[in-house]
Chains A and B, each alone.
Chain A
Amino acid sequence: MTAHELILQSKAPYTAIAAQELPAIAASSDWQNKYRILMNLGKQLPVFSNDLQRDEFLIAGCDSKAWLLHQYDGITQKHYWAFDSEARVVKGLVALAICQLNGLSNNELAQLDFTVLLKPLGLYQNISPSRQSGLQAVLDKMASQIKATG
């Protein structure tokens, strides 16, 4: 599968996560339940084939290996991503970010504060610093990808 095809294939699952799991995590009150949902997010998303687990897509700064694909549609001026990781927590956290950002335009993205994307989910106080920095590394990479097209 090409990077393009994988990003296409990921669109619907990310939309579904935004509609279902994102509010479900925000609404659930105990950490176990939040995590139960989080850990299973990855199952809805396509897995990167070996040829997509390439160094050029690798994100530095994660405890586990992680790859990010990005696509900018020049005509609609919209951004799309797909993400995979060996670790379920990171894959889930990034999915919660991507599902809020996928399909947005340069303008829309410029107005967003990435640092508060996951705040309403009540996960942050729990997530360990190394996991946060893994997520942060992905968000930083996304920000630079947006900037490069802007």
Chain B
Amino acid sequence: MSFDVEAFRAEFSFFQQHPDWVYLDSAATMHKPDAVIKAEVEFYQQHNSNVHRGAHQLSQQATRLFEKARDAVALALNVRRREEIIWTSGATEALNLVAAGLMGTVLEPGDRILLTCLEHHANIVPWQFYCQQHGVFIDVVPLTTELELDIAVFQQLLELKPKVVAMAEVSNVLGTIAPIAQLVKLAKAAGAITVIDGAQGIVWQRPDMQALDADFYVFSGHKLYGPTGIGVLYGRYELLNNLRPLRYGGEMIKAVSFAGTTLNQLPYRLEAGTPNIAGAIGLAAAFNWLAEFDSAALKSHKQQLFQALYQGCKAISGITLLSPATQNAGILSLNINAEHPTDVAALLNEQKIALRAGTHCAMPLFQALQLPGAVRLSLAAYNNDHDIQRTLQALEQTVELLQ
């Protein structure tokens, strides 16, 4: 079945509002289909009440919708138990929760953890902060000259017996797809707890948690056609149950006296305070909406666009491509001659190409690449051939203006 991109695009009111823009910044945040927006609005207009606490029927109804959203995500990710889905504000909060929650419970002074050099700051800084406090050492997997994770070094570092291995499935700068199934297997064989940052990866490929067998997996709703301010921490039940909460108060508590407090069960023990109810419902709507489309067709459409963009850029003299063409989830980082990425972006902005310039919250990666930054073009399935043509023309114009 061929994919009708125009029909897909018509699901997004945003594009009707901005017909003259080419949006190539989906790795930063995606546009949301009207179905998702409608689900959030409907919640507020028709069902708004707080969850888990009202004595009234309205609250029970809101609670039902909220928990139904959890079920939808649990089903989409094929987890063992619905309590393994914890709502967070996004990938960043989820990673903070894992890093903080493992310190002192799993990670002890003198232990080691393993990260990779292409991580987003959200998968570096929480670890760094808590590891420093707790005397835990961090090792870093480098890249090969082909910009892939160096598996040989990965295996050597596993011999140091890290208790945690945390890594991104897809690099938010290079777009490269890590062989996480293989890496999870290796890490688990070495006895490590595995944490996958799926913020970009989930867009590329819906994970099957039981098949993947990672211990933790995090993502943000807004990078997957969902609302901002909602994300998910998936965790293996036993591990989640032993994770020390990052926040305290509200529904996470079973009983409080000044002598002490008993925490509630999962998932609530990790969801302090009033949750982002409408956000959760919106994210579930995104999963349900996405299920209406053939995911293989979406993927191959995006791959076609990526190849056209890649080959087109390669043909423009002056452009240096950072991202590899193969094993790429649809992110193309590039530079033009020795120009500063912000200059390139400024000229592309003039031509109404929306993209990002700089170090993309991955400064250690740019240190490894020995580059001051790059311009990042990121695709989504709602992009079309016209977007690619416009972008290539704009890049040619930009190269010319920078001469």
A131-B340 Cα distance, complex, nearest whole Å: 13
Task: Give chain A nearest CB distance to B363 CB in angstroms.
Answer: 14
B397–A32 touching, CB < 8 Å: yes
The answer to whether B294 has its CB under 8 Å from any CB of chain A is: no
A87–B401 touching, CB < 8 Å: no
What residues of A have a CB within 8 angstroms of the CB of B350 in the complex?
Answer: 31, 35, 126
What residues of A have a CB within 8 angstroms of the CB of B358 in the complex?
Answer: 63
Task: Give chain B nearest CB distance to A134 CB in angstroms.
Answer: 9
For chain B, the bracket of interface size reads 10 to 19
B346–A32 touching, CB < 8 Å: no
Majority SS at the chain A contact face? helix
A32–B349 touching, CB < 8 Å: no
Task: Using A31-B350, A35-B347, A86-B372 as known contacts, say yes or no to A64 and B401 having CB atoms under 8 A apart.
Answer: no
A39–B349 touching, CB < 8 Å: no
B401–A63 touching, CB < 8 Å: no
A130-B358 Cα distance, complex, nearest whole Å: 12
Task: Give chain B nearest CB distance to A3 CB in angstroms.
Answer: 23
Residues 387-398 of chain B, each 1 if its beta carbon lies under 8 Å from chain A, else 0: 000000000010
Complex: chain B residue closest to A36, CB-CB: B401
Task: Give chain A nearest CB distance to B116 CB in angstroms.
Answer: 27
From A87, A126, A128, B340 is in contact (CB under 8 Å) with A87
What residues of A have a CB within 8 angstroms of the CB of B340 in the complex?
Answer: 64, 86-88
A32–B342 touching, CB < 8 Å: no
Task: Give chain A nearest CB distance to B190 CB in angstroms.
Answer: 41
Complex: chain B residue closest to A89, CB-CB: B346
A89–B401 touching, CB < 8 Å: no
B346–A128 touching, CB < 8 Å: yes
Residues 371-403 of chain B, each 1 if its beta carbon lies under 8 Å from chain A, else 0: 010000000000000000000000001000110
Interface set, chain B 317-359, CB cutoff 8 A to A:
339-340, 342-343, 346-347, 349-350, 357-358
A89-B350 Cα distance, complex, nearest whole Å: 12
A126-B401 Cα distance, complex, nearest whole Å: 15
Which 10 A-B pairs have CB atoms at the shortest separation, nearest pair first? A87-B340, A63-B342, A89-B346, A87-B342, A88-B343, A128-B349, A86-B340, A64-B342, A87-B343, A89-B343
